[in-house]
Amino acid sequence: ITVDPCKQDLDQGHGKTLQARYYFNKYAKVCEQFDYRGIDGNRNNFESLQECQQQCPGLKTNPSLHDEKNLCRGTLSSHILLKITKVLFVLFQLYNSTGDRCHQLLNIGLGNAFLQRWHFNTNSKHCEPFIYRGLQGNENNFLNQNDCQMTCFVNPCAAGEPYQIQGNTMQCSPAKPSMCPNGYYCHIGAEPQTTVCCGNACEQQVDQGQGNYQLQRWYWNIASQRCMPFVYAGLKGTQNNFLNQEICDRTCYAFENPCLSGKPQQGVNNRPLCSSTYNNCAITHWCHIGAVPQTTVCCPGKGRAVCKLPLAFGSGDANLKRWYFDQNILNCIPFSYGGMHGNQNNFLTQQQSGNPEMDSNGRIKICSKSLNSCSSTFWCHIGAQLQTTLCCPDRGNFYLESTACQLPLAIGHGGANLQRWYFNNNIHKCVPFIYDGLHGNQNNFLTQQECEQTCPVFVNPCASGEAQMGRGERPQQCISHNQCANGYWCHVGAVSQTTVCCPGRVMNSAAQGYAICQQPVTAGMGNANLQRWYYDVNTRQCLSFTYHGTMGNENNFISKKACQLTCPAYVNVCPQGIPLLEISTNQPRLCAFGENSCGPKYWCHLGLVPSEYQCCPGTETNSSACKMPLSVGIGGAPASPVNRWYYDAAASTCKTFEYNGRKGNQNNFISEADCAATCTVFVNPCDRTVTLPLQTCSNSEACPSGTYCHYGSTSQTTICCPFEGNRCSQPMARGIGSGSLQRWYYNSMKGICEMFTYNGIHGNANNFLSKENCEIACRINPCPDGQPFSTSNSVYQVCVASTLYINGCPNGYWCNPGSNSFTTVCCPGAVNNPCNLPMVVGEGNEKLQRYYYDAMARVCRVFTYHGMKGNQNNFLSQTACQLRCRPLENPCIGQPATTTAGQILFCSAINKEVCPVNFWCHIGSTPETSVCCPGATNPCSVPLSPGSGNADLSRWYYSADDRECLPFQYNGIRGNQNNFLSQMECSRTCPEQLCLLSIDKGACSEHQTRYAFDRQQNQCISFEYTGCGGNLNNFRSLVDCISTCGQLGF
């Protein structure tokens, strides 16, 4: 049954991935976006909006979507949904009010929707757009900017609060701007709510204020139209109060109004809001480019039909070359502009007058994000379709992408509902918005990544995560840790923007080991050069360093005093690290030699005064201290240097030295007895006198010529000892001492290496750790006669000995199969037929299982070989012996199967199927007797056959008399098929075979009731047995028949 996907409900599926997909909302009759989780779901799932709309048409869209004369901007369904949303929104406001909605924090809500909404920002005092996800949220959520501004008061003043009468904001109008009192002017906003009296610092009276301070300040003198100095008392006063003349001049300069009607928009401190390179005018104002900066201002009355305005030469003496669009001839015409009082149909260049850029053929130039073909004074507008993706003129030179980030949000017109990103200059972040498709600006990016790569997003000064966010989603600024949330600390940067609450605050107390003070000094990143202080854990002092402004840690203090108030200070006598501190006092733990009062991983520093007997980090003062060099330490202790003892590892003796008191090491003893009790004084383990310094050795560190490595029971007695002559000819020497070490020596009388027990010291050079080392050093000759074959460099040639063959020797030599590579060498005197040689056990200490050929008995027998001085009648396996000394015996009754090449066909218990038809696999005692024999038959129907030979193998056969599998001893060859390796194999084979036999009454004349399995009836039945003959399908009782054949089914 085919399911209509357009009638299915939304199913997001499951999984961990999120993919943007579209589904048809059968209730709203429109295609909407949702997050698909990657697995399952249903067919109401489309990869693009176009695919969804083609599959599920829904409500028809208005064909005049982009016609300015058409009042209905969206689809009919969108209009209905908007009405429903507004009704629900009003009901939500009536029944869910929780107080002043304008002061609630921004809450984007939950869900998959992408709705353009507005909220009131209490920090900026403005209504700002945001994307609402459709569910939950709060009351600070308006359908449009006008609703927000009608509900929440927006302060339009650049500085200070608007003028109020009895708590109510005083409104003015363009018709009566003189309503505002002295020191205020009428701010003409876009609506009555923002048309109020704002303070003008330059028009207020100078006021010295109150207090006892004498601060040099500046004020604007209206009469003389210039800035003049005055003395400010420190409190009260008016806004006409500036820190220096420059700020005063920049704020209060006078200018002639160049606007055709109304007053220009004023920025903070009357700073310009636009120029030929940027435009920060309000949406109700346009940028008038005058002859000088004073006449380049934001004028009121911005219109959309700019190109329909008449030519306006303006007034003034500037004589500026400009361009205007002539509606009659539909072309841009140059004219001379007087500099003031013109209109918006006034462009700096011919290209700026608003038409899309044309190519050389007079056609509109098309562009794309991947291929920006626009000229330098145009920018690529990415619309909803190809026709609206073209090169637009740049009225403010915002073709520089980084400058475009200063533009305000422009959601445009057209109802295209495109997801875009813009840079919010207030919070320095990239924010999503819905673009309507037409009349936007360059602050419009397809992705968040593109926006962040272009615009200066907030630079996070924190090294361990994102800064704490405060009201309005701005980073929480601070001056102390108390202003930060739990887990955050106040990072003091070079400017207020980087002085914010950073994550990763650590607790700083004695219990936590002063964690802040243990952090390493971090110069951070950036271009700042700030003098700061940090606590040095090695010197226990507060030291200065240069901080670059960001990415630091908490071990960063504004002053040395602040550092000292946070981190402890005391005398550190340890050579490395800090002493072990008592938790209760935060002071070093005191100790004494030999008392083990420091605990693991600490050692007791023996100072000159009791307070400097401190537990220092490092290995304990034990034998490891004896390996440390002499350290006289440094001075500074409140006592004179004293005589101490240290262990001289080179001479293996305790010696005196003068200790200065601090920063020494563990090789420092108060008395010689303490030194000798800790470190081992040298005892010569050699049988001859040695010279100092001693040279240690090991398996990897060889001794020089004339010496050998004496391996004692300790590292102190494992040194290079001198010797003379041939060490292999020296007698065995057990030495003296209390050791019991297993060693090897070369017995020159026997010519072999033998084991002995060494006592530990005063042995000789004929002393080896292993038999292999002995044989390497003394070149054992395993041959019974003569010397082994040697290579050109006088090294015995090693041969190959395996379980099947022995090879690798030149003519006239044979391979002695020894226990290792030193005794498996080529010996002289090879014979052609080793099978006639007698068995020789040889010499040595080995016990190797070998085989020899007994010529009298004509069999291969096992014997024990001692490793050397044997002969060629010596084989590693019985197979090797048999292959060399006797022909293969035929295990079959008849000739075994052969391959096409005439070779005997071998088989095994795991590959019996290799045997051809009419042959069966005979499993013998060896691989050579496991062959395919002729005469395959029913194994259960043949009698027991023990065979011949002397293998004595445990096997099983099927007894027709007992009707069960029984064990027997198989002699190895010439048996039959009633021969199984296990009882399981026998039982599995025979019952199944005999039950398939036909019922046979036999060949005699008796009448005995027996039972057999009837294949036709598929059950056990009775029959008369004549007493002889018949077959195995013959049971004495019904129970026997059922127990044997009852499980079969055919």
**Residue 734 sits in which domain range?**
683-780
d(CA 233, CA 120): 38
Structural domain includes residue 739: yes
**44 has which bridge partners?**
none
Using DSSP, state whether 600 is helix, strand or coil.
coil
Of residues 459 and 492, more confidently modeled: 492
CA 87 to chain centre: 50
Q: Quick one: pLDDT at residue 745?
A: 94
pLDDT band of 682, cuts 50, 70, 90: confident
Residue 994 has pLDDT above 50, yes or no: yes
d(CA 432, CA 130): 7
**Tokens representing residue 749 in the block:** 């009388």
Residue type, 786: G
For residue 304, what are the CA distances in angstroms to 174, 286, 324, 345?
A: 22, 11, 15, 11
Average pLDDT over residues 426-452: 87
Average pLDDT over residues 799-809: 68
Nearest of 143, 134, 137 to residue 33 by alpha carbon? 134
**Tokens representing residue 133 in the block:** 């996800």
Residue 93 has pLDDT above 70, yes or no: no
Within 8 A by CB and 6+ apart from 326, the residues are: 311, 332, 333
Q: Quick one: pLDDT at residue 63?
A: 32
**Tokens representing residue 889 in the block:** 């015996």
Please give the sequence-ordered ranges of beta strands (E in DSSP) within 124-193, or none if there are none. Answer: 126-132, 164-165, 168-169, 184-187
Residue type, 834: P
Helices (H), 867-939: 878-885
Nearest of 895, 947, 942, 900 to residue 923 by alpha carbon? 947
Write the pLDDT tens digit of every residue in 865-914: 999 999 999 999 888 888 778 656 789 999 889 877 566 788 999 899 89
Give ∠ CA 467-468-473 in degrees, rounded to 5. Answer: 105
Structural domain includes residue 451: yes
Nearest of 866, 786, 792 to residue 826 by alpha carbon? 786
Residues 772 and 788 in one domain: no
Residues 947 and 868 in one domain: no
**Tokens representing residue 523 in the block:** 């110069």
Looking at residue 690, the DSSP 8-state letter turns out to be: -
Residue 815 has pLDDT above 70, yes or no: yes
Phi first, then psi: give them for residue 678, nearest 5 degrees.
Answer: -95, -40
Q: Quick one: pLDDT at residue 414?
A: 72
Within 8 A by CB and 6+ apart from 988, the residues are: none
**Tokens representing residue 315 in the block:** 């007034």
Within 8 A by CB and 6+ apart from 330, the residues are: none
Residue type, 917: V
Q: Quick one: pLDDT at residue 77?
A: 37
d(CA 801, CA 778): 23
**Tokens representing residue 485 in the block:** 């949330």
Structural domain includes residue 936: yes
Evaluate whether 254 touches 225 at the Cβ level (below 8 Å). yes
Residue 816 has pLDDT above 80, yes or no: yes
Residues 855 and 869 in one domain: yes
Q: Quick one: pLDDT at residue 399?
A: 45
Structural domain includes residue 235: no
Peptide bond into 432 cis (omega under 30): no
Q: Which of 740, 755, 780 is the last residue of a domain?
A: 780
Residue 805 has pLDDT above 60, yes or no: no
Residues 937 and 959 in one domain: yes
CATH number at residue 947: 4.10.410.10
Evaluate whether 940 touches 990 at the Cβ level (below 8 Å). yes
Evaluate whether 233 touches 213 at the Cβ level (below 8 Å). yes
Nearest of 352, 342, 298, 305 to residue 320 by alpha carbon? 342
Using DSSP, state whether 465 is helix, strand or coil.
coil
Quick one: angle between helices 1038-1045 and 983-994, nearest 10? 110
Evaluate whether 228 touches 219 at the Cβ level (below 8 Å). yes
Of residues 162 and 503, more confidently modeled: 503
Evaluate whether 930 touches 890 at the Cβ level (below 8 Å). no
Residue 613 has pLDDT above 60, yes or no: yes
Could you tell me what percent of the chain has a pLDDT over 70? 88
**Which DSSP helix (H) or strand (E) runs through 404?**
helix 401-404
CA end-to-end span of the chain: 43
Average pLDDT over residues 797-810: 71
Number of structural domains, the chain?
9
Structural domain includes residue 196: no
Residues 447 and 465 in one domain: no
Write the pLDDT tens digit of every residue in 353-409: 566 788 888 787 888 888 878 888 788 999 888 888 888 877 554 445 556 887 888
Tokens 């080991």 identify what position? 513
**1023 has which bridge partners?**
1010
Residues 803 and 849 in one domain: yes
CA 43 to chain centre: 36
Using DSSP, state whether 931 is helix, strand or coil.
strand
**Highest-confidence segment of 97-106, 685-694, 852-861, 912-921:** 912-921
d(CA 509, CA 511): 5
Q: Quick one: pLDDT at residue 1026?
A: 92
d(CA 713, CA 757): 12
Residues 473 and 444 in one domain: no
Residues 463 and 523 in one domain: no
pLDDT band of 837, cuts 50, 70, 90: very high
Strand 919-922 with 859-865, pairing: unpaired
Residues 670 and 689 in one domain: no
Query: Torsion over CA of 270, 273, 274 and 275, rounded to 10 degrees?
Result: 40
d(CA 445, CA 393): 18
Q: Quick one: pLDDT at residue 939?
A: 81
Q: Quickly count: other Cβ atoms within 10 Å of residue 455's Cβ.
A: 23
d(CA 818, CA 781): 11
**Highest-confidence segment of 399-403, 427-431, 629-633, 634-638:** 629-633
Of residues 372 and 698, more confidently modeled: 698
**479 has which bridge partners?**
none
Residues 442 and 536 in one domain: no
Residues 794 and 771 in one domain: no
d(CA 541, CA 568): 9
Q: Which of 752, 780, 808 is the last residue of a domain?
A: 780
Q: Quick one: pLDDT at residue 809?
A: 85
For residue 805, what are the CA distances in angstroms to 748, 814, 880, 930?
A: 32, 12, 6, 20
Using DSSP, state whether 473 is helix, strand or coil.
helix
pTM more than 0.85: no
For residue 143, what are the CA distances in angstroms to 105, 150, 908?
A: 17, 12, 87
pLDDT band of 95, cuts 50, 70, 90: very low
pLDDT band of 204, cuts 50, 70, 90: confident
pLDDT band of 270, cuts 50, 70, 90: low
Q: Count H helices, E strands: the chain?
A: 12, 42
Residue 436 has pLDDT above 80, yes or no: yes
Could you tell me what percent of the chain has a pLDDT over 90? 28
Q: Quick one: pLDDT at residue 470?
A: 80
Structural domain includes residue 1022: yes
Using DSSP, state whether 565 is helix, strand or coil.
helix
Strand 919-922 with 931-934, pairing: antiparallel
Structural domain includes residue 191: no
Q: In the predicted model, what is the mean pLDDT of the chain?
A: 83
Residue type, 797: Q
Q: Quick one: pLDDT at residue 654?
A: 92
**Highest-confidence segment of 210-224, 324-338, 584-598, 635-649:** 635-649
Write the pLDDT tens digit of every residue in 468-524: 888 756 788 898 777 898 899 999 999 888 899 999 998 876 555 578 988 999 999
Of residues 329 and 485, more confidently modeled: 485
**Highest-confidence segment of 371-375, 433-437, 961-965:** 433-437
**966 has which bridge partners?**
957
pLDDT band of 964, cuts 50, 70, 90: confident
**1011 has which bridge partners?**
1022, 1035
Structural domain includes residue 635: yes
**Tokens representing residue 636 in the block:** 């500074």
Evaluate whether 820 touches 772 at the Cβ level (below 8 Å). yes
Residues 770 and 728 in one domain: yes
Q: Which of 614, 649, 678 is the last residue of a domain?
A: 678
CA 575 to chain centre: 38
d(CA 101, CA 138): 8
